């Protein structure tokens, strides 16, 4: 028979075993399975994805993801080895089991079929473009353009799925931004913080971001599908870091410095009450007083300027009247001899021509004025005709100057062929054209309708435009082109004079037709040519327009209304 002490000992052991069993039944998952000390987890990542993960100048892994992973490994007692490389290769390595975890993976619906995730941040994808390019606010704006993305990255999948976009692949975000900055392709879509970081580091000053988030993703650890143990340990380690505040320290160290700092609404209100409001009131009072004073000064200044301009213009017109009267008399006298004698010489040549022809047939070619007769018989009639036309042109120009001085607009009007006027004007200034350029073209429309006007006055405008184009050229290799055509509305015929000269500064364009305004005063310009031309065009109901780009050239457009017979 057992002793009473043995029975008591057996009872104690039984009760202790029962208590222990109840504890084990009540808390079956009290702690995670201990980590094998010999197990080393291989952690992959992108070798150039700052500030999330990258290699420092010594080739060591660093960045937000790297430091966060090391902190989790420390609190969970995990052995890890970090390997950074090409992102596309690392993603494949996770799929094949060559590495155990990728800490910098965007969580997408497609990837959840292959990986399990432990999110630890939100990552924003932004659209970057070159300064001066059209701004794209969202993915739909990229349709029809070439867009650079990182191969195997989240935006690679996203843009291919979207469709309508030409996707250009590169291995890193840095190369995507470099390609864009060098002028290749249209846009780049990269993570916002890496894009800002790399843009500053590499001084890519010609690229900007729209400031809008194109797409946002959850961002975190990816492990192979079904690796629940590693997923649980990463999740528990992340929770510990967040509860102790260490996660926030790591986040602020790497990502906080790149995020824009904004004042809270409360801080803004306090600042406004203390500083901005009194300053605003003071500035408002100064602004009202200053605006009143400015209006008064501007009014007085305008009055003085108008009076001054009227005096200057009156003095110029008086001086011009005196000058034109004297010049007209001095020019018209010798020019009258040209106009009087040229027809006599032309008639004389007509009478001499049969005699010269007879001599030529009997004796062969001979010289006249140092040139062969066979050449002179063709040239002399043209020369005499041009001399007579030139004399008439001189007379008309003198009359135009006199008319400008006295503002007499009475003129004989008729139906005018603009093509003929252009050809005549070109002949008159042929010498100036040949001196100015080796490249002069004239394209006249065959179906051009006539305009109603004075042919001499229109010719004066065309001559003026051609001479201005010649003076604008800097080298004879630069070209001048003339063309006539009918506007699509069929109401106007147009002459365009295009030169490849120095161009006109934008601030001068509105003053080109002002009397006495010239940019060529040092080379003898008077500023009357375009002013007279503008008045002639206005008299004819036409339009004179100037389009110019400095360093590229100028296009002058002369539009005259089509003549309606019987109207």
Flag whether 547 is in a domain: yes
Flag whether 28 is in a domain: no
Alpha-carbon span 32 to 445, nearest angstrom: 91
Same domain, 388 and 428: no
Same domain, 323 and 365: yes
The residues pairing with 496 across neighbouring beta strands, listed in sequence order, are 483, 557
Range of the domain at 245: 40-256
Alpha-carbon span 540 to 409, nearest angstrom: 11
- 469: how many CB neighbours lie within 10 A of its CB? 29
For residue 248, what are its two tokens? 């926030």
User: According to the model, what pLDDT value does residue 266 have?
Assistant: 66
From first to last of the 567 residues of the chain, give the pLDDT tens digit: 444 444 544 544 444 444 444 444 333 333 444 444 478 999 999 999 998 999 999 999 999 999 999 999 999 999 999 999 999 999 999 999 999 999 999 998 889 999 999 999 998 889 999 998 988 888 889 999 999 999 988 888 889 888 899 999 999 989 999 999 999 999 999 988 888 888 888 889 999 987 767 788 899 999 999 999 999 999 999 999 999 999 999 998 898 755 544 445 666 666 666 766 777 778 888 888 888 888 888 888 877 776 666 556 556 656 666 666 677 777 878 888 888 888 888 888 888 888 888 888 898 888 877 778 888 888 888 888 888 888 887 887 777 666 555 544 445 788 899 999 999 888 888 888 999 999 999 999 988 989 989 988 898 899 989 998 998 899 999 999 999 999 888 889 999 999 998 888 888 777 777 665 566 644 444 456 677 788 889 888 999 998 988 888 999 999 999 988 654
The answer to whether 504 and 550 have CB atoms below 8 angstroms apart is: yes
- Give the total number of structural domains in the chain: 3
Same domain, 392 and 448: no
Same domain, 242 and 335: no
For residue 228, the domain's CATH number is 3.40.190.10
User: According to the model, what pLDDT value does residue 393 have?
Assistant: 78
Give backbone dihedrals phi and psi of 176, rounded to 5 degrees, phi first.
-60, -45
Same domain, 211 and 323: no
Same domain, 399 and 306: yes
Tell me which residue of 165, 138, 133, 131 sits closest to 149, measured CA to CA.
165
Flag whether 15 is in a domain: no
Same domain, 536 and 402: no
Alpha-carbon span 172 to 533, nearest angstrom: 62
Flag whether 280 is in a domain: no
Flag whether 517 is in a domain: yes
Long-range contacts of 52-58 (CB under 8 A, 24+ apart): 52/104, 52/191, 52/193, 52/194, 52/254, 53/84, 53/103, 53/104, 54/84, 55/84
Which of 256, 288, 307 terminates a domain? The answer is 256
Tell me which residue of 52, 61, 155, 149 sits closest to 104, measured CA to CA.
52
Same domain, 136 and 239: yes
Residue 175 exposed, middle or buried by CB count within 10 Å (0-12, 13-18, 19+): middle
**Crossing angle for the helix pair 529-539 and 373-406, nearest 10 degrees?**
80
User: According to the model, what pLDDT value does residue 440 have?
Assistant: 94
Which of 390, 408, 426 terminates a domain? The answer is 408
Q: Which pairing describes strands 48-49 and 371-372: parallel, antiparallel, or unpaired?
A: unpaired
Same domain, 361 and 454: no
Which of 351, 378, 408 terminates a domain? The answer is 408
Same domain, 79 and 170: yes
| Percent helix, percent strand, percent coil in the chain, to nearest 5 | 50, 20, 25
The distance between the two most distant Cα atoms of the chain, rounded to a whole number of Å, is 176
For residue 190, what are its two tokens? 């990269």
Flag whether 284 is in a domain: no
The answer to whether 471 and 520 have CB atoms below 8 angstroms apart is: yes
Q: Measure CA 531 to chain center.
A: 35
Flag whether 515 is in a domain: yes
User: According to the model, what pLDDT value does residue 340 have?
Assistant: 86
Flag whether 290 is in a domain: no
Same domain, 219 and 141: yes
Same domain, 252 and 325: no
User: According to the model, what pLDDT value does residue 258 have?
Assistant: 56
DSSP state string for 357-419:
HHHHHHH---EETTEEHHHHHHHHHHHHHHHHHHHHHHHHHHHHHHHHHHT------EEE-HH
For residue 430, the domain's CATH number is 3.30.565.10
Asked whether the whole model's pTM tops 0.85, one would answer no
Alpha-carbon span 529 to 315, nearest angstrom: 19
User: According to the model, what pLDDT value does residue 267 have?
Assistant: 61
């Amino acid at each position: 028979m057992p002793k009473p002490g043995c029975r008591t000992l057996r009872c104690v052991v039984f009760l202790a075993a029962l208590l222990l069993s109840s504890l084990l039944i009540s808390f079956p998952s009290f702690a995670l399975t201990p980590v094998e000390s010999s197990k080393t987890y291989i952690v992959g990542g992108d070798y150039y994805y700052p500030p999330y993960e990258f290699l420092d100048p010594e080739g060591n892994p660093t960045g937000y993801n790297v430091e966060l992973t090391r902190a989790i490994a420390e609190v969970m007692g995990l052995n890890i080895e970090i390997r950074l490389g090409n992102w596309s290769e690392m993603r494949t390595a996770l799929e094949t089991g060559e590495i155990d975890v990728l800490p910098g993976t965007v969580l997408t619906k497609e990837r959840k079929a292959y990986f399990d995730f432990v999110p630890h941040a939100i990552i924003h994808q932004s659209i970057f473009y070159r300064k001066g390019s059209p701004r794209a606010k969202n993915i739909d704006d990229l349709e029809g353009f070439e867009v650079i993305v990182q191969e195997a990255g989240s935006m690679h999948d996203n843009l291919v799925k979207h469709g309508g976009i030409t996707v250009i692949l590169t291995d890193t975000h840095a190369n995507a931004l470099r390609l864009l900055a060098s002028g290749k392709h249209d846009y780049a879509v990269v993570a916002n913080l890496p894009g800002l970081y790399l843009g500053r580091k590499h001084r890519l000053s010609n690229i900007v971001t729209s400031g809008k988030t194109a797409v946002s993703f959850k961002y975190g650890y990816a492990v192979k599908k079904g690796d629940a143990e590693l997923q649980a340990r990463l999740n528990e380690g992340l929770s510990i870091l967040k509860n102790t505040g260490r996660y926030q320290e790591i986040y602020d160290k790497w990502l906080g410095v790149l995020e824009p700092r904004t004042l809270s609404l409360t801080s803004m209100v306090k600042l406004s009450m203390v500083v901005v409001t009194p300053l605003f009131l003071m500035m408002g009072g100064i602004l009202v007083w200053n605006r009143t004073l400015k209006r008064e000064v501007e009014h007085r200044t305008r009055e003085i300027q108008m009076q001054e301009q009227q005096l200057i213009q009156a003095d110029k017109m008086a001086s011009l009247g005196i000058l034109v009267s004297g010049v007209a008399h001095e020019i018209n006298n010798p020019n009258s001899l040209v106009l009087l004698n040229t027809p006599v010489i032309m008639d004389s040549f007509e009478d001499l021509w049969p005699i010269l022809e007879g001599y030529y047939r009997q004796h062969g070619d001979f010289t006249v004025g140092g040139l062969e007769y066979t050449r002179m018989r063709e040239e002399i009639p043209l020369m005499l005709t041009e001399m007579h036309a030139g004399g008439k042109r001189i007379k008309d120009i003198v009359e135009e100057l006199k008319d400008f001085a006295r503002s007499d607009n009475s003129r004989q009007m008729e139906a005018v062929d603009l093509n003929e006027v252009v050809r005549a004007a070109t002949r008159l200034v042929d010498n100036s054209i040949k001196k100015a350029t080796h490249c002069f073209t004239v394209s006249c429309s065959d179906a051009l309708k006539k305009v109603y006007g004075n042919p001499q006055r229109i010719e004066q405008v065309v001559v003026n435009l051609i001479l201005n184009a010649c003076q604008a050229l800097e080298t004879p290799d630069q070209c001048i082109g003339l063309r006539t055509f009918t506007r699509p509305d069929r109401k106007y015929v147009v002459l365009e004079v295009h030169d490849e000269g120095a161009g006109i500064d934008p601030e001068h364009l509105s003053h080109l037709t002002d009397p006495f305004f010239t940019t060529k005063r040092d080379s003898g310009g008077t500023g009357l040519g375009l002013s007279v031309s503008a008045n002639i065009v206005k008299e004819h109901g036409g339009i004179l327009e100037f389009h110019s780009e400095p360093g590229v050239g100028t296009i002058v457009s002369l539009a005259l209304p089509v003549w309606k017979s019987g109207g």
